[in-house]
Amino acid sequence: MTAAILAGGENRRMPVPKAFLLVEDKTIVERSIEVLGKIFDRILISTNMPERYFSFGLPMVGDVKNVRSPMTGILSVLIATQEDAVFVVACDMPFLNEQLIRHMKTTFEEHNAGGEQVGAVVPVVGGNAEPLFGIYTRHCIATIEATLARSRKSLIDMFKEIRILSITEEAVKALDPGGMSFVNVNTFDDYERIGGNKGGNPCLA
């Protein structure tokens, strides 16, 4: 299974690329690569701006459709890798939990070995699915394409049409009690709340 960092967002609410915000002396993307590298043999970055990420030496995948949506990134990664499943995470989540990701991967592999055709594996937090911290399989490619063709961009809309394997809230809390995996940085206020910008410079690049 490959891991993919989704870095194709438009970054409208931040003055700098979110993936390059410093958190505890490392950029968010560096932190993500470090955790994912302990679990997966291959990591790639989904981006339409490869020049930003060239220095990391990782494979990069551009969007296969001209539709700005996380679904487009997921579709592009599934097509490019030709793997049965890909773990995807947004580029603005600085506190990925290794144990939770391993649990999701193992859960998928156990169900897959039993012949179950799962479209996605996602954790549930606060009663809601967390779509940008999940495993997506080739079984959802046709559904993603059909959803985008209808000008629907929400992964939650797509979830209504595929088989979802949910990681229960109880299981999530047992592995990530503070739910830190799901903290994301959408605004500069978010960034300051997690202790960023202590040095006055939010970005390495």
Q: What angle do CA 80, 85, 90 make, to 5 degrees?
A: 75
d(CA 33, CA 27): 10
- Residue-wise pLDDT for 58-75, tens only, equals 999 998 888 888 899 999
d(CA 179, CA 196): 18
For the entire predicted model, the pTM comes to 0.90
Q: In whole numbers, what is the pLDDT of the chain averaged over residues? A: 88
DSSP tag of 177: T
What is the pLDDT at residue 204? 46
Domains (range + CATH), the chain:
2-193 (3.90.550.10)
- Residue-wise pLDDT for 7-60, tens only, equals 976 556 666 788 999 998 899 999 999 999 999 999 999 999 999 999 999 999
d(CA 63, CA 66): 7
- Residue-wise pLDDT for 88-147, tens only, equals 999 999 999 999 999 999 999 998 877 778 899 999 999 999 999 999 999 999 999 998
Segment 174-199 mean pLDDT: 84
